[in-house]
Each structure stands twice: as C-alpha cells, then as structure tokens.
Amino acid sequence: MLEGGGILNGSFLNEDLIDELSLVIVPIADGASNSVTLFEMDASMKQQPPANFSLKSVEKLADDGLWLKYVTRRD
C-alpha cells in the first residue's frame, strides 16, 4: 500500500510500480484552487506513456460514497 502525495504517487506510477488503484469518491466539492493532484510528475522524471487501468470492483459506501478498485492493465 502506498499512501503519499501526488509526487510520491507519480514517482511510483512513472516506474510502473502500481498494481492496483483504489479510489474513494464522496459527493463533496470545495472549489479550492490549491487542491492536490493524485499523480504529479516532477520535472526530473522521465516521460512515460499514460497508465491504463481496468475496473475490478465498485462498493457503495455510507453517505453516497463509492469505493472504486482498479487493476493495472499491462497490454
């Protein structure tokens, strides 16, 4: 399990070290312009093609939240 910010997540993504992606979506919006990104690439990272994921499962959570689980497609 990796629990980091956008740069750490981007580093693992860039090195093809992510097997599964787990996202929790909740129906809340704040409109902040300084919101962090899920994956961020540092200028020193080598450019890679986008990663592709396939939906593995969806679980409905309390208060209309969703837990989406994806696996990395390596095709």
Domain count, the chain: 1
pLDDT of residue 4: 78
Residue 4 lies in a domain: no
Edge-first strand order for the sheet with 52-60 is 20-25, 66-73, 52-60
Residue 73 lies in a domain: yes
As given in the structure block, the two tokens for residue 67 are 């837990």
Which residues partner with 54 through β-bridges? Answer: 71
Cα-Cα-Cα-Cα dihedral sign, residues 12, 15, 16, 17: negative
Q: What is the pTM of this model?
A: 0.82
pLDDT of residue 69: 98
Which residues partner with 22 through β-bridges? Answer: 69
Q: How far apart are CA 41 and CA 20, in angstroms?
A: 19
Residue 34 lies in a domain: no
List, for the chain, all residue ranges whose pLDDT scores fall below the cut of 50. none
pLDDT of residue 33: 82
The per-residue pLDDT for range 46-66, each reduced to its tens digit, is 888 889 999 999 999 999 999
The single-letter DSSP state of residue 67 is E
